[in-house]
Amino acid sequence: MVQLKKNPEKSQTSKEVVRLLERGHADTLQKISQLEKALLNLRFEGKPSLGKNLRQAEEVLDFLRNQLMKHIRIEEKVIFPFLSAHIPKLESVIHLLEGEHDEFRKNVEDFCFELEAVSKAKAGLGFGRTLERAQETGTYLVYLLRNHIRAEHQSVYKVIHSELRPDEKKELARRITECKTHGGSK
C-alpha cells in the first residue's frame, strides 16, 4: 500500500497565512515592551533622562500611528470581512475587536497630544500632572494592546488555523498581500 505523505501545499498555505498575520503582532508586542520600559524610566529616572525617555516613547508612538494603524486597516478591510463571510459565528467577536480598534485610535491620538504637552512643559508649571496623564494613557495602551492581541490569537486567528479550508487560507493570504502592497495605506 502506498504511504500518503502530508499535503505539502496545505501546510505551505497555512504557514504563509500565519506568517502574514502574526508578523504584525510580534512587532507590536516588541514595541509595547519598549513603551512600557520608557514609561517606567520616565517615572523613575526623572528630569535628567527626560529627553532620552521621551524619544523612546515617541519612537513607539510613531510605530503605533503608522505600522499598527496599517495592521488594523488590513484586519478591518480584509481579514474580518473575509472571516465574517466564511465563519458567521465569529461576527460578535469581530464586532468587539473592531470596537477595541476604535479605542486604540482614540488613545493613540490622546497619547500623542499628551507626550507633546510633556515635551513643552519640560521645566514649567504643571509638568508633574502632564507627565502623569501621559503615563496613564501610555500604560492603558500597553494593557489594551496586549489584551487585544491575546484575544485575537485565541479567537479569530485560531479559527483561521482550524476552520478555513486550504483554498480559503490561500485566498485570504492573497488578499492580505494585495492590501499590504496596494491598499494598506488608503
Q: Which stretches of the chain bind Fe ion, using CB under 5 A?
A: 75, 152
* 10/70 with CB nearer Fe ion: 70
Residue 76 C-beta: closest distance to Fe ion, Å: 8
Residue 22 C-beta: closest distance to Fe ion, Å: 9
* 75/168 with CB nearer Fe ion: 75
Are 103 and 143 spatial neighbours (Cβ–Cβ below 8 Å)? no
* 31/133 with CB nearer Fe ion: 31
Residue 149 C-beta: closest distance to Fe ion, Å: 6
Q: Which residue in 97, 83, 92 sits closest to 147, CA to CA? A: 97
* 85/96 with CB nearer Fe ion: 96
* 117/183 with CB nearer Fe ion: 183
Q: How far apart are CA 29 and CA 62, in angstroms?
A: 15
In this structure, the number of other CB atoms found within 10 A of the CB of residue 81 comes to 13
Residue 79 C-beta: closest distance to Fe ion, Å: 8
Residue 12 C-beta: closest distance to Fe ion, Å: 23
Q: How far apart are CA 115 and CA 122, in angstroms?
A: 11
In this structure, the number of other CB atoms found within 10 A of the CB of residue 185 comes to 10
Q: How far apart are CA 45 and CA 39, in angstroms?
A: 10
Q: Which amino acid is at 99?
A: G
